[in-house]
Structure 1
Amino acid sequence: MKLRSSSSREVKISQNFDSQGGDESAVDNMNPTSKALRNPLILDLILAHLSDLTDLKRARLVCRNWAEVGASLLGKRTALNVNKLIRYDEGSKMYLVTPVAANLMRRISMLDKCDPSVPHNKVANVITKVFAELGQCTREIHCEVTYIKFVTAFFNGLRKLKKSKTNIQHISVTVWVIALSLGKEGYPTFTNKLPVQTNLTSIEFQLYDRIGGGSYAFKPLLQILLDSAPNLTSLKVCWPFYPNLQGCKNLKVFKFDLVWCAAFNVPDKVAAIGILAQVKDTLIDLELGSIADDTVDLPQSQTLDVPVMSKVVSVTISPAAMDSF
């Protein structure tokens, strides 16, 4: 179900643009400077010098040509918060508050904070419905949530994506597990696979557990996401578990921060060496870190055989990670 627009204002705007740019004879009568300022290639170079996003947004108001080129630049430099674009009317119907240029949807962000008109029990619906609006222009999706049901809604939205209609290259997910987010929901079971995204080459996944032990419910999430990206080349993870990278046949960049506390997990050096062995033939850039609370007693060092990674040209290991890996 497509979201409807709340007004017809965009029709007037479109007509105004057409009146400025649709008369070919008028273009022929323009001086060289005016013609140059209508050339998308030249406009792209000019507007790219506007470092202030406010100025770039104002420039889009000049005419249709400037609006289109400006939208492409904005889409590359900012992440559009799509939650704010969707509201609920008095009849409890979801609608799109204003139409959005496709180029502005290049990079989008999703939070669990929506417009005040959206009831709290409808926020999950908004997050899921956003995926129905994504098209060929969307390249990056950034999601940051706390409530478990919103994590579920995000992955349910991902399941709606069809690889033939999307060109998503990067997905970033940040989950904050806090006591208040549990409520009466309990922990969900994440088992259903996601559709394969052949263009997805970069993933960031960060999980922070403030209550200890709750992370186990989310353990399948990262694996489900990894399995949907057969052409993954870059992976950045802040995670209390050692992911299975067996299917990452093209991984070149791997940045891993092990998050752990004495309450629910202990670093497993054998497992750490195991994930490196899975990507030893493709990895080029490796970065290892560790995040631990103050109550953790660092384990004693062990002597383990690290696999030979012949293609690696950059290795960064934090002091804390020396004791955790």
Structure 2
Amino acid sequence: MDSPLSNQVILNKIFSKLDLHTIKLVRFVSQEWSEIGASCIGRQIILDPYDVFLPKSSELVENPGTVFTFNPRLARRINMHDSYYWPARKPHNLPVDKIAAMLSLFSTHINQFTTQVEFFVQKATCQKYVTALLTRNEFPCLKSISVTVEEDVFHVIDDEYRMEIDPLPVRPSIKSITYKLDPLVNCIVANTFPFRGVFNAMLASAPNLQKVSIVDNFYPNLENCRALDSLKLVGSLITQKPLVGLHGLGGYSYIFGKDDAFEEKKFLRTILQVQKTLRHLVIGAGPEDTPFGWNPSSIPDTATDYRLPLLPNLESLEILGFGCFDKIGETLNSIILPRMKYISLVETELGSTTMDQILAKVKPDNRAVEELSLQFLRDPEAFHRFGVLWPNVKKLTVSFKGKYRLAASLNYAVIIQSLSNCWDKLDQFHVKLQLSCYEWGTFCSEAVKSLAKFSGVKSIDVQSSVIPDFYYREAAVYPVDWDFLLLTKTFNSFTFRDTEFTIPTLEGIVRLREAHQLPIQFNKCQASRQGFSWATTLTIPLDKWVDF
């Protein structure tokens, strides 16, 4: 006799009573585990195309549903991961076309609960894998598609790709589409790229699309995106190529040049197509920062004369790498941006224009701005201008991005004090620490000790992008006295975000938080048992904020 829980009608009735946006874990209890075929509704189902479709016999099966230990009909988030950095997991004799066929067949097992599909694929496989999973008329509740295309700069793959893709099924439920080329600075940025045809097909399949994010020198036609209110366009002004013939170690030397594919006219045309509906805009000039940063002396100074057009309904604007936009300050006024309420200025290591030079061209007439976000790599010289240009700011967020030893040179106290003097009445003052240096725990300690002296700071976010192997080395060589976290009592909240911990460190922080009622929170953090015991006496809510 079949289990009632294998009946789709019964499952639908059960989950119609649940809020699938907030539920973290559901377990079914049965005498026979195989009767159910579902272990849980998790936040994410990860699909490794070189592993998940292979049973123990290492032979491909015709029905992928028999491989899973979960019921794919219950998957809310699907992560399709195919990376250059996992070579040990790739059987060389596994045909890409066969995997694509398995993905297409797998999509028939997905029912009404999937809301998000995320791909992390290679240039050589992106077109086949993405179209295989999305071609069938499934995913009736799909809201978000995200595709990161990974390209190894030293492995240029020459292959034929179809630039015109067959139409994908129309899905009115899709609200967001994201595409990112990783790394953005690459020898293939300026070339025709295979995924762009797939991206255009996805745009055509989403008539109610509200958000588009593109990190590439790619400017699609958005004329049919009549509901689009959020747009991100981040391109690259330079191209990175490997310098070969240097003792056979091309991976350690690069040459940089100007990338002519970063076209200001196309950039502007894409924005003008959604000029009337756009409410949120992110523009940027790469490359995006890496955990180890870039050597500015090896990268040519680049700049663009890009200016913003009239955006009558725009409420928030974020500029990534503002030093590359020489003339952007001339358009940050109430005539071009009459409804602007939020501005974010993010400094990177590229560009020849300083913040002081940009702000000198801004007219002090936009009094609608109520929220300001700033990111510095070094001490700026333009503090005195903020309060004059945007006098009605109520919420200020300051991000410090420290790399290598640079974090040690940041004078947090002076910066915060100078910014505090810009406004008499500041309701919310938030600080974000983005530390990529090995000794991030030590620098975090120094920053908290400095910031705790200012009563105006309401919250602190700490994010560390240190590669895990280096963090374990740091934990052994640079031990941190985490008692400095007792100072977080002076803040409303203190959050570790996207940060890697060892088990002993995490246990110590959690016990400290519980003993002293500290406002410490965790968001998308990880705790690894590498080099430590698998056992832990600490009860940690894994489904809420920590992944092991």
TM-score by length of 2: 0.43
Task: Please tell me whether the aligned partners of residues 303 and 323 of structure 2 are also in contact (alpha carbons under 8 angstroms).
Answer: no
Larger radius of gyration: 2
Please give the residue correspondences for 1:77-226 in structure 2 after superposition, counting only pairs within 5 Å.
78-83=43-48, 85-88=52-55, 89=57, 92-94=60-62, 95=64, 96-98=66-68, 100-101=70-71, 104-112=74-82, 119-121=93-95, 122-162=98-138, 166-178=140-152, 183=157, 186-192=159-165, 193-208=167-182, 210-213=186-189, 215-218=191-194, 219-226=196-203
Partner in structure 2 of residue 272 of structure 1 = 267
Deviations 1:194-247 (A, max 9, x none): 222111111111013533357512333322221221110011221112222111
Identify if the C-alpha distance between structure 1 residues 129 and 215 changes in structure 2 by more than 3 Å, giving closer, same or farther. Answer: farther
CA contact (8 A) 1:82 1:130 kept: no
Q: Structure 2: how far apart are the matches of 1:159 and 1:43?
A: 29
* Aligned residue runs from structure 1 range 41-60, under 5 A: 56=25, 60=27
Change (3 A) 1:130 1:199: same
Tell me how many residue pairs correspond in the alignment. Answer: 274
Among residues 300, 307, 310, which one is paired with 1:308 in the alignment? 310
Q: Deviations over 1:266-309 (max 9, x none)?
A: 4322222211111111111111122138544413536x5x4322
CA distance 1:194–1:312, change in 2 (3 Å): same
- For residue 27 of structure 2, what is the amino acid of its counterpart? R
Residue 281 of structure 2 aligns with which residue?
A: 286
CA contact (8 A) 1:111 1:144 kept: yes
User: Residue 109 of structure 1: CA displacement?
Assistant: 0.6
Structure 2 CA distance for partners of 1:68 and 1:280, relative to 1, 3 Å? farther
Among all aligned residue pairs of Structure 1 and Structure 2, give the percentage whose two residues are the same amino acid: 20
Paired letter, 2:54: R
CA RMSD of aligned residues (A): 3.9
Report the alpha carbon displacement of residue 130 of structure 1 after superposing the two structures with TM.
2.7
Unaligned runs of 5+ in 1: 1-10, 23-38
> Does residue 234 of the first structure (1) align with residue 211 of the second (2)?
yes
3-state SS in 2 of match to 1:243: coil
Cα deviation digits, residues 170-204 of structure 1 (max 9, x gap): 00000012256655x61412312322211111111
Answer whether contact 2:120 2:148 (CA < 8 A) is retained: yes
| 2-structure distance, mates of 1:138, 1:118 | 31
CA distance in 2 between counterparts of 1:108 and 1:230 reads 22
Deviation per CA, 1:104-141: give whole Å up to 9, x if none.
41111111269778953244443343323222211110
**AA aligned opposite 1:243:** P
Q: Secondary structure at the match of 1:290?
A: strand
Query: Higher relative CO (CA 8 A, sep ≥ 6), structure 1 or 2?
Result: 1
CA separation of 1:312 and 1:149: change in aligned 2, threshold 3 A: same
- Normalised TM-score (structure 1): 0.69
Structure 1 outlier segments of 4+, above 6 Å: 39-45, 67-70, 113-118
Q: Between Structure 1 and Structure 2, which shows a larger proportion of helix residues?
A: 1
- The residue identity in structure 2 corresponding to 1:299 is A
Shift of 1:315: 1.1
Secondary structure of the equivalent of 1:204?
strand
Per the alignment, residue 400 of structure 2 pairs with none
Say whether the 8 Å CA contact 1:170–1:203 is kept in structure 2.
Answer: yes
Instruction: Give SS of 2:162's match.
Output: coil
Distance 2:59 2:304 in 1: 62
CA positional deviation for 1:161: 2.9
In the TM superposition, 1:226-265 aligns within 5 A as: 226-261=203-238, 262=257, 264-265=259-260
**What is the deviation of 1:149?**
2.7
